[in-house]
Structure 1
Amino acid sequence: MTEIPGYIYWLTRTTFIFWAICLLVVALLPDYRPIAFGLIAGSAVSYVNTKYLARKVRLITEAAANGEKKKRGLGFSQRAAVSVAAVILAVKFPQWFEMYALAGSLVFAPFALIVIGFVLSRHTERNSANERGEKNA
């Protein structure tokens, strides 16, 4: 579980770069503002939900390592409620948020983590090939 902070670090960087690109679209292409705002709002919800899930995984892992009982929480219900609230926001204010862009970007963080995980695993493979000593096969 020591790789989770690294994944969250790169997810944060990726998300901020995505937001910066969306804000450039807002500034330079006014006709696409609702789409860009929808992408920003959906990816923000996705990012927050992923950070919350990573925190829950860390807490459960620490509790299991210490021999404590599993603590109950809202879990999926809380993350789903935040996503539904974002979609309701898009329905309530269609002049500001494109609903399809918002709904589509709710899966931004999981897909970004797949790409980040692939890139980091390839990076680790390349660096481990340069090590001296025995290879564990």
Structure 2
Amino acid sequence: MDDILKKAIRYAYFFLSALLVAWVLIPEGRPVAAGLILGTTASIVNAFLLRRRIELIGKTAAEHGERKMTLGLAGRLATVLLAVMTAYRFPEHFALPAALASCFLVQISVYFTALTNNNK
């Protein structure tokens, strides 16, 4: 699982690099590129939060047996909400649809990375 997440985050970093180049070279597309950067950053933060939480749940289950524990949904939702509220507050700098759409980039790339790794 960890190698799949690392690959997905690597893809997100490449995407962020391309977006930074687009932000510099295309002045008319700066709000869209900035919105995509904002959402992708929130997606990467969410991936790290989820990985840390899954490791914590696995460690707790190994030490104490089966225990009920949540997956920390509130923290991940707050991260997406912060990105969307920032885009909503500053529409001249960030495109809201771009920010919202890219908030799920790493999660979607984890899915497709797992599918391609499973077919090998």
TM-score by length of 1: 0.80
Cα distance in 2 for partners of 1:37, 1:19 equals 10
2:6 aligns to what?
A: 9
Structure 2, unpaired ranges of 5+: none
Q: In the aligned structure 1, how far is the partner of 2:49 from the partner of 2:75?
A: 10
Q: CA deviation at 1:74?
A: 7.9
Question: Within the alignment, does 1:54 sit opposite 2:57 as a pair?
Answer: no
Which structure 1 segments of 5+ residues have no match? 124-137
Rounded to whole Å, the distance in 2 between the matches of 1:108 and 1:63 is 29
Note if 1:80 corresponds to 2:77. Answer: yes
Deviation digits for residues 24-50 of structure 1, max 9, x if unmatched?
A: 211221100110110011011011112
Give the counterpart of 2:114 among 92, 113, 117: 117
CA contact (8 A) 2:43 2:105 kept: yes
CA distance in 1, matches of 2:48, 2:102: 16
TM-score where L is the length of structure 2? 0.90
How many pairs does the alignment contain?
120
From 22, 25, 28, the equivalent of 1:28 is: 25
Which of 92, 103, 106 lines up with 1:106 in the alignment? 103
Aligned to 2:35: 38
Q: Which amino acid aligns with 1:5?
A: D
Alpha-carbon shift at residue 8 of structure 1 (Å): 2.2
Indicate conservation of the 8 Å contact 1:50/1:109, yes or no: yes
Which protein shows a greater Rg?
1
Secondary structure, aligned partner of 1:97: coil
* Greater relative contact order (CA < 8 Å, ≥ 6 in sequence): 2
Q: Following TM superposition, by how much is the alpha carbon of 1:122 offset from its aligned partner in structure 2, in angstroms?
A: 2.2
Among residues 59, 63, 75, which one is paired with 2:60 in the alignment? 63
Task: State percent identity of aligned pairs.
Answer: 28
What is the root-mean-square deviation of aligned Cα atoms in Å?
A: 1.8
Q: Give distance in 1, aligned partners of 2:86 and 2:116.
A: 34
Instruction: Answer yes or no: is the 8 Å Cα contact 2:43–2:103 preserved in 1.
Output: yes
